[in-house]
Amino acid sequence: MLKRLEQSQEQTVWYSLWDKVWQMDNLNQAILGVILKRGSAGVDGQSTTQFSSDWTQQCEQLGEELRTGRYCPQPARRVWIPKLGSPELRPLGIPAVRDRVVQTALLAVLEPIFERDFAEQSYGFRPGRGCWHALERVESLLPSGHTWVVDADLKAYFDTIPHERLLAQVQGRIADGKVLELL
């Protein structure tokens, strides 16, 4: 898929991605990624350590549930965390470990399709990019006279994202109904 992506046109529509999501190599990589990040347990109380103790069985079960359409995500566990520099608290939804694995597997399939569409100067939540890269870019622009930095934080944006418009954009590139349903 990655080779085809590299050779495809920017507006290629992808019809057959579902089997890549539940493919065992993809799920194993997703499990590894989730376990290495650790993180808290979801509503089911299962930790990444508990999940990884039966890795093979968990992977096979998730793959079978996805393949047969029986996979059903659990609700996210809601916690409130301090907001940096503010007395306010920020809501955070913590998915169950198995749901994070499925999300990571789906990300591995979708990210290469959409990544190349993002602006070069965008650094947030991008693979291989982070705040240090943004700071390096700022440092490289200062000698040429650039002196303004704009930082925007939209209050409660993730709670107000226009989902219909966003999904319509995704559907412009992804035509696989099962992938769209999972998304």
Alpha-carbon gap, residue 82 to 86, rounded angstroms: 8
How confident is the model at residue 103, as a pLDDT? 97
Looking at every residue in the chain, the average pLDDT score rounds to 89
How confident is the model at residue 75, as a pLDDT? 97
Give me 127's structure tokens: 């693979």
How confident is the model at residue 122, as a pLDDT? 85
Model confidence at 53: pLDDT above 60: yes
Residue 116 DSSP class: T
**127: confidence class by pLDDT, cuts 50, 70, 90:** confident
Question: 176, 106 in Cβ contact below 8 A?
Answer: no
How confident is the model at residue 144, as a pLDDT? 93
Mean pLDDT for 6-30 is 86
How confident is the model at residue 10, as a pLDDT? 66
Backbone angles phi, psi at 156, to 5 degrees: 55, 35
How confident is the model at residue 6, as a pLDDT? 56
How confident is the model at residue 63, as a pLDDT? 96
Tokens 């539940």 found at? 22
How confident is the model at residue 3, as a pLDDT? 66
Question: 137, 150 in Cβ contact below 8 A?
Answer: no
Mean pLDDT for 57-61 is 95
How confident is the model at residue 112, as a pLDDT? 86
Which residue, 48, 23, 53, is CA-closest to 100? 48
Model confidence at 4: pLDDT above 70: no
% of the chain at pLDDT higher than 90: 61
Model confidence at 106: pLDDT above 70: yes
Model confidence at 182: pLDDT above 80: yes
Task: Report the C-alpha dihedral over residues 155, 156, 157, 160, rounded to 10 degrees.
Answer: -130
**8: confidence class by pLDDT, cuts 50, 70, 90:** low
Alpha-carbon gap, residue 151 to 57, rounded angstroms: 45
How confident is the model at residue 99, as a pLDDT? 98
Cα 28-77-21 angle, rounded to 5 deg: 25
How confident is the model at residue 118, as a pLDDT? 83
